[in-house]
Structure 1
Amino acid sequence: MAEEYDPPALERSWQERWDNDETYYVSADDPRPKSYVLCMYPYPSGSAHQGHVRNYAFGDLNVRYRTMRGHAVLSPFGFDSFGLPAENAAIKTGVHPRLFTEERIAELKASVKRLGTAYDWRREIKSHDPSYIRWTQYLFLKLYEAGLAYQADAPVNWCPGCQTVLANEQVLPDGTCERSGDVVVRRNLRQWFFAITRYANELLDTLDELAWPERVKVMQRNWIGRSEGAEIDFPLADDPTRSITVFTTRPDTIFGVTFLVLAPEHPLVESITPPERRDEVEAFRADVATRSELERQSDVASLDKRGLALGISVRNPITGDEVPVFLADYVLAHYGTGAVMGVPGEDERDFRFATAYGLPVVETVTRPSDHPGGAWSGDGTKINSGPFDGLSVAAAKRAVIEALEQQGAGRSRTVYRLRDWLISRQRYWGCPIPIVHCSACGTVPVPEDQLPVLAPDDVEFLPTGESPLARHAGFVNTTCPQCGGPARRETDTMDTFVDSSWYFLRFCDPFSEDRPFDIAAVEAWMPVDQYIGGIEHAILHLLYARFFTKALSDLGLIPATLREPFRQLFTQGMIRFHGSKMSKSKGNLVTPQQYFDTVGADALRLYHFFVGPPADDVDWTDQTDEIIEGCARYLQRVWRLAERIGVTDTPTSAPVANDLAIAIERLTQRVTDAIERWSYNAAVAALMELANLLGDERLLAQPDLADFGLARLLTMLAPFTPHITAELFERRYGRNVHREPWPTVDHELLASARTTLAVQVNGKLRGTIEVDPSIEESEAIDLARALPSVDAALAGREPERCIVRLPRIVNFVVR
């Protein structure tokens, strides 16, 4: 094997072979245990960048490792190919979005293949493909038939830069568009929605069942934002037949209400405003409309200019007292009822508002003795609360709600921060909504046999804010499917998150032409066993995909038992360039091409596995190339080991049971354990130790054991660096390493090498533990502390120091 290791040439050779290799082609009737490993399908913005490399390398390791463990692994790839960048490029350059997108798909696909990833390319999908559009529209119609898709007038987030509506989730906390950075404004438009709020409870309650990172589940819980409390009706003082309804999580504080606050957009404002106040009210509302939600909810600015007295009063339904009504910018129309009862004694913002406008403060809960004054939102005993005095806050909540319900002035209520999903986009490059509008029949769905509805190619891309589809007479003008009369086609397209909310189902069966997917194939593969992607999708994509899965399950389109799409989720760390997020918009992308053409894809992959825990962010610095070069030198060393170590007849079974064989088994266990817990950097460290061991002259003097160790190294290294291992294993043994079984650890051999660890407290023996001689110090200390006899001897005291002499003694020293 005395020839130079040439990574680029070797890797291209294997990639060409893998294009025709069916190792990773699977079917629903495969008898092996099934696994579904999926990386979030990408938006095709061009060649791969290091974020792609990291994501797909982690996914590829999962696929190859699970396959070697005997699983049939579904590993598909596709492209989230609709989106604003392609249309914005068309407006700027005149290049049609389809051409722009398909050129970038070709670039990204080529980069992904150069990485040496294992995908079943027969299953490739693109969301802009007519075959995919057809079934996205079909699913829309099914949701429409079930009342889960509807059209309504609503205030929406309008991005002037993108010239389209945004979902709430696409507006950053500072009130700007996540894509363009422009300040988002509010407009009233007729829009299409999905009724995701019908699933709010289930979306929230089933989060605990998911093997997802806790921070992702917390983000979803906060976004859904369930609040339990009461709705209370405050009748107008001068017209008791009309009332303003508020939602509160603290109905027990009703005796402390000294004012009421409405959102400026509240639907009652116009009808209840006295004539003499209308001009001032309209000016205030116009001013508030220019502020982002973040500004409006901020506690930084003074509240004395953020409210306006409306000039009317309402009556407290419990006390009968009159309280004034204000408008305030910090109240939002889409949360609760858009009206808030002001309780300055128990709410800090209400206290500041009351102070700014000279309103009374009534305390209804006892304060702690050290309370500095102002509002108190904690627990205590009720005071100044009439018949509820002396009750705890929790008991008073229940009692007040019961009293309100008895007199018909209120009711128990649960509300959510989550709003229905606004899917309308006034853009061209998206999936057309399959609806026509007829003056005689109203809103009419396009019949299924007329799908897909495709956007015409001959449109003008102008920065007008109006969809190019709305200016295309040939697209807009159509006939009504019901009456045959003239009708207008819906010109809004769907939010691209609709496409990504079901693509994982289509991957199970992209071959059917008469249905979106075969339900038996979905039942065989779903849910996805391991989903891999960025934390930035923790709310948007993941929440929508969960909604789609639950809705389609209820509609009978997928198995009734399938309620969640992704069993396990892993969110990899972000790649930063000198501390800043690496992104195309910032012009700081580092493409993998230069590494493919020099040190090779295997070395680049190994860097991403080795540089740190997969969940941690990675900073791309001036030292990064040195680390990648180090990974390349390690692979060159593996190549030289393969040249140096001879081939024997039985490389898969250890010929002797000595300390070197035990060391090989111990490292095998470490690699396996590290992969299972996503500690890929620890696995690579163990593989490097194994290479060092194979270079030991004592081991080289035992040819059979050396060959066994090398076979073990190549087999375990294969999921990390697939090209070099495939080449070396085939040359030595004439087999495909990626079809080899994962090594089985000889536990009997390891057990024979265990030693006794003595555990002492102040030098006195308190117990012993059987441990591996290579045990880490931290693990030894943890095991020793866990002994009941040690816990009793410590008696709650923390050791001053710990004397460790591995693998023989751990001694805790206490006073």
Structure 2
Amino acid sequence: MQERYEPQTIEPKWQDRWEAEGLFAAGRRGDLPKKYVLEMFPYPSGALHMGHVRNYLLGDVIARYSRMKGFDVLHPMGWDALGLPAENAAIKDKRHPAERTRENVRSFKAEMKRVGFSYDWSREISTDDPAYYKWSQWFFLKFRERGLVYRRMAHVNWCPGCQTVIANEQVKDGLCERSSDPVVIKQMAEWAFRITEYSERLLRNLDELKDWPEEVVKKQRNWIGKSEGAELDFAVDGSSEKVRVFTTRADTVFGCTYVVVAPDHPMLAAIVPADRREAVTAFAADQARKAATKGRDEELPKEGVDTGARAVHPFTGAKLPIWAANFVVSDYGTGAVMSVPAHDERDFEFATLYGLPIVRVIRPADGAALPADAAFTEDGVLENSGPYTGQTSPDARKAIAAAAKEGGFGGPSVTYRQRDWGISRQRYWGTPIPIVYCEACDPAGEGIAVPYDQLPVELPEIDVAAVLTGRGEPPLAKVPSFVNTTCPGCGGPARREVETMDTFVDSSWYFARYLDPKNDELPFSRSSADRWLPVDVYVGGPEHSTMHLLYFRFWTMVMQEMGLCAEEEPVKRLVTQGIVNGPDGRKMSKRWGNVVAPATIVDRYGADAARTFTMFAGPPDRDIQWSDEQVEGSARFLQRIWRLAYRHRDSAGLPGDLPADGRSLEIRRAAHKTLRRVTEDLERLSFNTAVARAMELVNFLTPVEPETDAERAAMAEAIRLLAAMLSPIAPHLAEEIAEVYGATRSLQATEWPAYDPALTEEDTRVYAVQVNGKLRGEVAIRADAGEDEVKAAAQADAKVAPHLAGMTVRKVIFVKGRLVNFVVSP
């Protein structure tokens, strides 16, 4: 062992040895229970930075610890390689997106290896590989056969700069987060998955996800947005049309004074009188423009226009004005609402603004006065409600919904906020949709499935400058050799679908491809699914709380129904990590120019210093601030460990069973207590406190100068345990010290050390002392003190004694190690 700590020498040595010995290969210990540890795979854009490293490092520490705890660990890595950023960069640089993507993958992978991540690289996947996206296409066709894929007209976010549809989450303040172009709302034909068929199941299963962050579960619950209520039909006066509304407050129906539909509701073309069409059309166009420029969570000022059409109240026959207003959207619910301004704040605000009638039909059950200038939105007792007057709101809701069903104009209903998942993208760098169109066989243009034996439909080679222009029709439409094909039915001329799939499709099932990445018969075998699924620990950012996590939960449910796996939920435990803020205090991102490259830190301080700082900086779910000073502090800590191990290296060969007392016992107690606490910390993923415990142990050991063989043996044992404890976090240093101190195998091939319970008992224990159940004091006493001794000490305590004076002790409740309670009376 050399005197100087040189991570740049030690770390490559152990990385090469791990790889040569295949220590991270899943399945090498198939007789042990499994542990599947997974981080959300990266989009290889630009270079890896320390913000990325934190995500992958959390999973790596868990994986390394799990191997030592006796698990056969699957810890894979791959690349979410398709998508908009690479294509936008290709347009800008006139380079094929595959070139840049593969360069970035090589860079990411090299950086990951330098940081010491323990991945099973034999299972590496990349979504731009036809051998991967073949199975995304296979799933598309299988889902279509199950009625879960369809073609629809939908309102979409269209980015003129990217020339494609983008998701709501990619719209920031009305602008595309990629190109910064103003987003336009337009109606287009698109392919969609019927994820709403699974809304109830997705919602119900949230109750079973006990090891998911509460905030994520809450966001998913809100996104699905289940509402129980009733649907009611309002006939349109003078027309065969009906306006169907959904309401959770059917008890307020007699207070409905107007009906509101979305500005772009398709019914408007049929019901708006000629003299109002121009005004209504202009209003709809203006609202579409405003909707496209607002932020996702921004609420526009309420605006509306009287369409001139009238709705017939289903219970009273009154003719009510039909308004178009911007607080109703056509693709949510029925695209129409009944407005009850006396009992809904939004309706009250709109009615007040436009001078519409306000009729109160619910009064407080306690007889309190109704507010004069606001809506009363609570349940109560009905009034002015015909035969339902006097009923409570819950009873009236049931009765009114039942009456609507009996009368044929509605009935009880459940709706969800969640919408079906539109997957069409007008880009090149994505998975081609395996559909062809043949005028002879498919005159309606519904699409003909590409036969399974013709998969994958591969992305064609292209002239980048001619095809990736960012303008005009979808890029694939500009490639005749791709578009023109033959119909699988009649053999005649046909054209391929030129849209590609949303990249969320690729990330919805990638975790399962890792199980069996070389399988060319199926996406993965059932036996591999039975061995490894579900994922035991999944690490990723909280920004994926809704879209990705809902999509891959949905996908797993379908796979389970298809018999591909037994599990209907993909992940047991979800860990959401906080972000790493750069030196300027903003989120570390290439966009802000504040990224810290791991290579810079590894070159200067070593990978273990970067790993130790990242784990010590804060709990996994908290944001952390990058600090060069703290990284240097972590490096100094590792140097102290090295110096400690170097100083006592001659004691490494002493037998470990020498009797311990005095100072040697103190050393052993300190080491075993630390081991117990670090073990508990790692189990609950409290990595920062685990590092802190190791620091405390080093502080204790550093000034100790052993004088006897027993003391030297105890010190050697403490250093061996310290190396094992640090192995998941600073593995290279730990391996080198362990080898010097007698290890013949990598720590990743050995068991996590067991602490001696007898050495972890505290010397003293603190008892809470109560009198008649009220805390009156505390006493500290030897841990092995008996009940009588503890009671005597408690009675004699200066704070307790006054409360016992002059009292008769009727009973003493004693809880060993915790509590003494004197039950007394005068």
TM norm structure 2: 0.90
Q: Measured at CA, do residues 47 and 700 of structure 1 come closer, stay the same or move farther in structure 2, by a change above 3 Å?
A: farther
Q: 2:579 aligns with which of 563, 574, 579?
A: 574
Q: Name stretches of at least 5 consecutive residues in structure 1 with no aligned partner.
A: 774-783, 785-789, 794-806
1:285-323, Cα deviation, whole Å (9 max, x unpaired): 1111102278599896653xx111111211111111111
- Residue of structure 2 in register with 1:89 after alignment: 89
Q: Secondary structure at the match of 2:306?
A: strand
Following superposition, the deviation at residue 347 of structure 1 comes to: 0.8
Match of 1:647 in 2: 651
Aligned pairs (5 A) from 1:445-464? 445-459=449-463, 460-464=467-471
1:799 is matched with which residue? none
Instruction: Determine if the alignment matches structure 1 residue 316 to structure 2 residue 316.
Output: no
Inter-partner Cα distance in structure 2 for 1:256 and 1:763 = 56
Q: Distance in 2 between matches of 1:114 and 1:13?
A: 11
Matched to 2:628, the amino acid is D
The change in CA–CA distance for 1:255 and 1:596 in structure 2 (over 3 A counts) is same
Q: Taking structure 1 as reference, are residues 320 and 103 closer, same or farther at Cα in structure 2, changes over 3 Å only?
A: same
Matches of 1:400 and 1:87, distance apart in 2: 55
Deviation at 1:329, TM superposition (A): 1.2
Pairwise CA distance, 1:586:
2.1
CA shift, 1:28, in A, is 8.4
For residues 229 and 174 of structure 2, the distance between their equivalents in structure 1, rounded to whole angstroms, comes to 28
Contact preservation (8 Å) 1:531, 1:570: yes
What secondary structure is seen at the aligned counterpart in 1 of 2:175? coil
1:172-216 Cα offsets, whole Å, 9 max, x none, are 5x4433433433221122111111010000011101111200100
**In structure 2, how many angstroms separate the alpha carbons of the residues matched to 1:765 and 1:546?**
49
Q: Select 2:358's aligned residue among 352, 356, 361.
A: 361
Q: How much is the aligned-residue C-alpha RMSD, in angstroms?
A: 2.6
The equivalent residue for 2:265 is 266
Matched position secondary structure for 1:567: strand
Distance 1:354 1:745, change over 3 A: same
1:738 aligns with 748
**Does the CA contact (< 8 Å) of 1:39 and 1:56 recur in 2?**
yes
Quick one: which of 507, 517, 535 aligns to 2:514?
507
Q: Look up the match of 1:693.
A: 700
Amino acid at match of 1:731: V
Contact 1:28 1:525 in 2 (8 A): no
Q: Percent identity?
A: 47
| Matching residue of 2:35 | 35
Contact 2:671 2:722 in 1 (8 A): no
Counterpart of 1:358 in structure 2: which amino acid?
G
- Whether contact under 8 Å (2:770, 2:776) holds in the other structure is yes
Q: Kindly tell me: are residues 655 and 82 of structure 1, through their superposed partners in 2, closer, same or farther at Cα, counting changes over 3 Å?
A: farther
**Where in structure 2 are the equivalents of 1:124-135 lying within 5 Å?**
124-135=124-135
In the alignment of these two chains, the number of paired residues is: 774
Structure 1 residues 681 and 644: alpha-carbon distance in aligned structure 2, compared to 1, 3 A threshold: same
State how 1:702-717 maps to structure 2 within 5 Å. 702-717=711-726
Instruction: Label 1:208 to 1:180 Cα distance change in 2 as closer, same or farther (>3 A).
Output: farther
The CA distance in 2 between the partners of 1:114 and 1:175, in whole Å, is 40
Q: Kindly indicate whether residue 55 of structure 2 is the aligned counterpart of residue 55 of structure 1.
A: yes
SS in 2 for 1:332: coil
- Label 1:769 to 1:222 Cα distance change in 2 as closer, same or farther (>3 A): farther
1:457 is aligned with what amino acid? E
Q: Deviations over 1:233-281 (max 9, x none)?
A: 0112223x43111111111110000000110111110010111111111
Structure 1, 366-375 or 517-526: larger mean CA deviation:
366-375
Question: 1:143-542 residue pairs with structure 2 within 5 A?
Answer: 143-172=143-172, 174-210=173-209, 211-239=211-239, 241-292=240-291, 295=294, 302-303=301-302, 306-367=303-364, 368-369=368-369, 371=371, 373-442=373-442, 443-459=447-463, 460-542=467-549
- How far apart, CA to CA, are the structure 2 residues paired with 1:148 and 1:50? 40
Summarize deviations over 1:348-372 as a string: whole Å, max 9, x none: 1111111122111011111444846
Amino acid at match of 1:590: V
Per the TM alignment, residue 391 of structure 1 is displaced from its structure 2 partner at its CA by 2.1
**Structure 1 residues 376 and 654, CA gap change in structure 2 (3 angstroms):** farther
Alignment-derived partner of residue 662 in structure 1: 669
Distance 1:222 1:301 in 2: 21
Cα deviation 1:135-157 (Å, max 9, x = unaligned): 11111111111111111222222
Distance in 1 between residues matched to 2:233 and 2:334, nearest whole Å: 11
Going from structure 1 to structure 2, the CA distance change for 1:300 and 1:510 (only over 3 Å counts) comes to closer
Preserved CA contact (<8 Å) 2:676 2:760: no
Distance 1:683 1:596, change over 3 A: same
Select between 71-80 and 454-463 the one with higher mean Cα deviation: 454-463
The amino acid across from 1:386 in the alignment is G
Q: Does 1:562 align with 2:567?
A: yes
Change (3 A) 1:359 1:632: same
Q: In structure 2, how many angstroms separate the alpha carbons of the residues matched to 1:717 and 1:655?
A: 27
Contact 2:720–2:737 (CA under 8 A) maintained in structure 1: no
Maintained 8 Å contact 2:156/2:188? yes
User: Which of these residues, 755, 760, 765, is aligned with residue 750 of structure 1?
Assistant: 760
Cα offset, 1:616, TM superposition: 0.3
1:651 and 1:707 in contact (8 A); partners too = no
| Contact 1:652 1:712 survives alignment (8 Å) | no
SS at match of 2:535: coil
Q: Which residue of 1 aligns with 2:556?
A: 549
Map 1:102-117 to 2 at 5 A.
102-117=102-117
Contact map agreement 1:167 1:421 (CA 8 A) in 2: no
Distance 1:292 1:405, change over 3 A: same
Larger mean CA deviation between 626-635 and 146-155 belongs to: 146-155
C-alpha spacing 1:763/1:471, structure 2 compared with 1 (3 Å) = closer
Which range moved further: 602-611 or 409-418?
Answer: 409-418
Q: Which amino acid aligns with 2:728?
A: P
2:158 counterpart SS class: strand
Query: TM-score, structure 1 length as denominator?
Result: 0.91
Tell me by how many angstroms 1:410 deviates.
Answer: 1.3
SS in 1 for 2:133: helix
Relative to structure 2, which stretch is displaced further, 376-385 or 205-214? 376-385
8 Å CA contact 1:55–1:532 kept in 2: the answer is yes
Equivalent residue for 2:594, pick from 571, 575, 588: 588
360-369 or 190-199: which moved more? Answer: 360-369
- Secondary structure at the aligned position of 1:92 is classed as helix
**What SS does the corresponding residue of 1:187 show, helix, strand or coil?**
strand
**1:550-580 per-position Cα deviation (integer Å, ceiling 9, x unaligned):** 0111122x22x31011111000111122332
CA spacing shift, 1:716–1:28, aligned 2, 3 Å = closer
Change beyond 3 A, Cα 1:739–1:299: closer
SS at match of 1:345: helix
Amino acid corresponding to residue 699 of structure 2 in structure 1 = N
Q: In structure 2, do the counterparts of structure 1 residues 465 and 377 end up closer, same or farther at CA, with 3 Å as the change threshold? A: farther
Query: 1:634 matched to which residue of 2?
Result: 637
Distance in 2, Cα, partners of 1:555 & 1:517: 13
What do residues 314-356 of structure 1 show as CA deviations (whole Å, max 9, x unaligned)? 1111111111111101110011100111100011111111112
Distance 1:629 1:679 in 2: 22
Question: Matches of 1:523 and 1:771 in 2, distance apart?
Answer: 53
Residue 771 of structure 1 and its aligned partner are, at CA, apart by 9.3
2:157–2:292 contact (8 Å) kept in structure 1: no
- Conservation of the 8 A alpha-carbon contact between 1:506 and 1:517: yes
The question of whether the paired residues in 2 share the 8 Å contact of 1:599 and 1:629 is answered with yes
CA contact (8 A) 2:667 2:701 kept: no
